[in-house]
Amino acid sequence: MQGIGHRRGARQQSALELLTTYSWAFLIIAIFIAAIAVFTGSRPPSSYLPATCNIDPAFPCAQAEISSYNSIVPITFTVLFTNDLGAVISFPSNALNVTLTDVGQSGTNSYLGNCYPQIALQGAVIRCFADIPGTKEPSSGSQVGVNFYVKYSICKNSALSSCTGAYKTTGYSLQSFSSPGTGIYRVSFDTDPQSGRIVVNNIQYTNGDVAFLVGGKETLFASPPLGYSFSSWSINSISSSISSLTSQSTTLTLSSNATITAVFYSSVSSTSVSSTSVSSTSVSSTSVSSTSVSSTSVSSTSVSSTSVSSTSVSSTSVSSTSVSSTSVSSTSVSSTSVSSTSVSSTSLTTTYTYTTTIYYVPITLTNSQGSATPTPFQQMIVADSDSYSSYEQSGLQNVEFTTSPDGQGTVLQAWIEANASSTATHTIYWVNLPNGIGASSSVTIYMNFMPSSVMSSAGPTGEAPELSPSYGEYDNGPNVFPALYANFAGTACPSGWTCSGTSQNNGISIPYSSLLYTSSAFGDNPNQILDMYGEIPAGDSNSNAGVGFSTSSGYNGAFIGFDLNNNPNRVPTSGVVWLCTSTDMYTLQTFASPYENPGTYVWSVYYPSSSGASSYVNYVALSSSSGTMPSSALSVGGFNDQGSQSTIGPIYWMRIRSYPPSGAMPSVSFGSV
C-alpha cells in the first residue's frame, strides 16, 4: 500500500509541477478564447472573410460594397475599378447592370446604374453605382454575392465622337454588407447658382450630380460660373466635414454620406472713387460746401462763425469705406466777409481681385506632307462642342485659341463657319496660323474656355455673318482671311469690288444683266483657293452665267468657276452646274449624296495654274478640268450678262484662303481638358 501511495504522490507532484511550469501558456490561451468570444458575440464569422471583386484583367477591381437602407439614401451597390485597357473608354447611360438576390426586394432582380467619369482616360479610377429600390437587406456583416456587367466603348481620344463599338465586361463580387458610415459614401453635389461646378480630386461635378467616394480625405475645389466668385461651402452630413467653409480650395474629410453645396456670388467690378475739390469765396454768412460720397461716411472739421452745409456730389457708391475731408481754415474780417480755403476729399481706389480657372484643350496639328503650308495658313478644326458644353457659353462666345495653355501666348484669330452652339457636335472653326506648319511636322495650339466673351468683329474669335444676331455683327473674316474676304453686309458694294446690276442686302445676288468683280486679281497660284457660301441654282436656259474667277468683261472674258449653262446639246439638260474653264470648255459637275442637286453650299474653285482647275462643294471634290485655261490671275466675282438666266445667289461670303500642301488639310488631334 505504501508503494502504491508513493507512486500516486509522484504523479500528483508531476501534475503540480506541470501546472506550475506552463500556467502562463494556459493563461494566454484562455485570454485569447475569451477575446474571440467578446469581439465576435454580435457578428457572424462570415464578416471576417476577405471581400472579393473580380472583373476583366484590363479592369482591376479595387473595391465593391453594398450600403444599407435609410430614409434618405437607398440601398446602393458600388464598384470601383481602374481603366488598364490601354485606351480611352466611354460609358453609355445605364452602363452598369447588377443582379442581386433578396436585396432590396425578394427574389432575384436586376438593376441599372451609371459609371463616372463618362470618359475615362488610361489609368483612371472608375466609380459605377446602382440604386437598389426596396428595404430588404441582409444582416449587417454578412457576405453578399453580386453578379454584374459593365458596357463601354473604346475611344481614339477624349471626345465622345471618337468612341466606337459596344463592349461588355462581366464581374462578380463577394463582400460584407455594410452599415452606414463605412467604406464608400454617397455624396450629392449642389451649387448656387446651378451653373457652378465642384471638383473633387480633379473630377468635376455639376449641380445635382451624385458620386460614391471612398472614405478619407478628398481635395475639394469650387469652380464659379462666368461672372461669379466663390462665397462659401456648406455640408449636410452626420460626421463628414470640410476643413474651411470659406476657402475655395479646401479638404473634405469623408466618413458618412453627405450633401455638399458651393455658393457663389455675382462679381463686382473694380471701382475707383475720387471726389473733386470744392472751393468757395464767401461774403458774410456764406456757407462752405464739402464733398460727400453717396453710401460713404464723410467727416469734416467744424468752422467757427461759419455755417457748413453739405453738398451732394454724384459718385459711385462703395460700401463700408470712410472718406475724410481735409480741414477748413477761415479768416474773419470784422463781421463782413469770410474767405474759405478749398475743401478737398481724399481720393479712394478700391480694387477687387478674382481668381478664375481657365480650362483648355491642347490641339495637335500635323502636316504629314513633304512641303510646308503657306504662311499665313488657315487651319480647319472640326470640334465636338457638345463634349465641352460645361465650359462653353451657349454660342461659343468664350472660346479662344492661343499658342500656349491657360489663354497665354499669342492669341490666334479664329472664325466659326458653321454650328456655333455648345450643343453642336460638328462645329467648324478656321484658325489663322501666322507661321503655318512646317513640312512633316506638328504644332500644338490651345482651345481655351475664357471666363467671358471674346467674340467680336475684331476677334480674336468671330463667326460667319449669317450666324450672328445681326448680320455680320461678330464677323472677323478679314482678320482670318487677309488675302480676300467680303460678307456683302448691308446694301453698299464692298470696297475693292465693282457691283453692276447686282442686288445686295446682307448677301449679294447676281440676276440677269449684272456683273460682280474685284479690282485685285487672284488665282493662277498653287497656294490659293477660292471659297464662297451661298446658292448656285440650276440653269434654266442655255445662256452662260457663272461665279468664281472672272473679269470685268463678264461673259466675253476669261472665266474659271461654276456655270449655269443649260445647253440642250449637252446632257443632262437641267439641274446641272458646270465647271467652266473658258468660254467653250465645260466639265459637268458630279454631285455625290447628299449634294444631289445644286443649292446653298460652300463652293470652292482651285486654279493653281494654266494647266488645270478643280472644284469642290462643302470641301468634297467634284471635278477637274485641264481644258483651255487662262494664263494669268483673274478677278473674283460673277457674271450673268449673256441672256436670260437664273439668278445666282444670294452669296453670303467669298474668300481666298491658303491651299494646304497636296490638298491635304493637316490632321487635328484633341487632348483632354
Q: Each residue of 40-75: pLDDT tens digit?
A: 333 333 222 335 677 877 788 877 777 766 555 578
Tally of CB atoms within 10 A around 15 = 10
What is the per-residue pLDDT for 84? 83
Query: Does the structure show a pLDDT above 70 at 653?
Result: yes
CA–CA gap between residue 111 and residue 104 (Å, rounded): 10
Ramachandran quadrant class, 604 (left: phi over 0; alpha: psi -120 to 50; beta: rest): beta
Q: What is the pLDDT of residues 453-509, one digit of tens each?
A: 999 999 999 999 999 999 999 999 999 999 999 999 999 999 999 999 999 999 999
Peptide bond into 434 cis (omega under 30): no
Query: Does the structure show a pLDDT above 70 at 415?
Result: yes
CA–CA gap between residue 481 and residue 649 (Å, rounded): 22
Average pLDDT of 103-121? 88
Query: Does the structure show a pLDDT above 90 at 265?
Result: no
Q: Give the H/E segment covering residue 38.
A: helix 2-39
Confidence class of residue 25 from pLDDT cuts 50, 70 and 90? low
Beta bridge partners of 632: none
What is the per-residue pLDDT for 319? 37
205 is written with which cell numbers?
461635378
Name the residue among 411, 417, 465, 408 with its Cα closest to residue 433.
Answer: 411
Distances (CA, A) of 341 to 192, 278, 326: 52, 9, 10
Q: Is 313 helix (H, G, I), strand (E, B) or coil?
A: strand
130 is written with which cell numbers?
446602382
Mean pLDDT for all residues in the chain: 75
CA–CA gap between residue 536 and residue 274 (Å, rounded): 61
Query: Does the structure show a pLDDT above 70 at 576?
Result: no
Q: Which residue bears the cell 469765396?
A: 281
Least reliable range by pLDDT among 107-121, 282-296, 576-590: 282-296
Identity of the amino acid at 444: T
CA–CA gap between residue 101 and residue 147 (Å, rounded): 10
CA–CA gap between residue 123 and residue 8 (Å, rounded): 75
Tally of CB atoms within 10 A around 322 = 11
594 is written with which cell numbers?
447628299
pTM of the model: 0.50
Strands laid side by side in the 578-582 sheet: 497-500, 514-518, 635-640, 546-550, 560-563, 578-582, 585-588
Most confident range, picked from 201-215, 414-428, 618-632: 414-428
Assess contact for 498 and 517: CB atoms under 8 A. yes
Assess contact for 46 and 142: CB atoms under 8 A. yes
What is the per-residue pLDDT for 140? 61
Tally of CB atoms within 10 A around 540 = 14
Burial of 158 (0-12, 13-18, 19+ CB in 10 A): buried
**CA dihedral sign of residues 312, 315, 320, 321:** negative
Distances (CA, A) of 644 to 87, 121, 262, 521: 61, 62, 68, 28
Backbone angles phi, psi at 263, to 5 degrees: -110, 135
Assess contact for 326 and 279: CB atoms under 8 A. no
Burial of 346 (0-12, 13-18, 19+ CB in 10 A): middle
Q: Which residue bears the cell 480650395?
A: 249
Least reliable range by pLDDT among 124-128, 344-348, 597-601, 644-648: 344-348
Q: Is 492 helix (H, G, I), strand (E, B) or coil?
A: coil
List, in order, residues 6 or more apart from 500 with CB less than 8 Å away. Answer: 514, 515, 516
> Within the chain, what is the greatest distance between any pair of CA atoms?
152
CA–CA gap between residue 614 and residue 604 (Å, rounded): 8
Burial of 493 (0-12, 13-18, 19+ CB in 10 A): middle
Name the residue among 432, 426, 430 with its Cα closest to residue 653.
Answer: 430
Buried b (16+ CB within 10 A) or exposed e, 634-671: bbbbbbbbbeebbbbbbbbbbbbbbbbbeeebbebebb
Query: Does the structure show a pLDDT above 60 at 165?
Result: yes
Peptide bond into 460 cis (omega under 30): yes
Strands laid side by side in the 399-402 sheet: 411-412, 399-402, 441-449, 359-367, 667-670
Distances (CA, A) of 19 to 22, 26, 481, 640: 5, 9, 102, 123
543 is written with which cell numbers?
445662256
Confidence class of residue 573 from pLDDT cuts 50, 70 and 90? very low
Buried b (16+ CB within 10 A) or exposed e, 428-464: bbbbbbeebbeeeeebebbbbbbbebbbebebbbbbb
Query: Does the structure show a pLDDT above 70 at 325?
Result: no
CA–CA gap between residue 346 and residue 326 (Å, rounded): 8
Most confident range, picked from 75-89, 116-130, 380-394, 632-646: 380-394
CA–CA gap between residue 61 and residue 171 (Å, rounded): 9
Confidence class of residue 557 from pLDDT cuts 50, 70 and 90? confident
192 is written with which cell numbers?
448656387
Tally of CB atoms within 10 A around 371 = 12
495 is written with which cell numbers?
470696297
Query: Does the structure show a pLDDT above 70 at 590?
Result: no
CA–CA gap between residue 13 and residue 515 (Å, rounded): 132
What is the per-residue pLDDT for 121? 83
Assess contact for 69 and 203: CB atoms under 8 A. no
CA–CA gap between residue 518 and residue 524 (Å, rounded): 15
Q: What is the pLDDT of residues 517-550, one digit of tens each?
A: 999 999 999 999 999 999 888 777 777 788 899 8
Ramachandran quadrant class, 611 (left: phi over 0; alpha: psi -120 to 50; beta: rest): alpha
Q: What is the pLDDT of residues 132-149, one digit of tens each?
A: 888 887 766 567 888 899
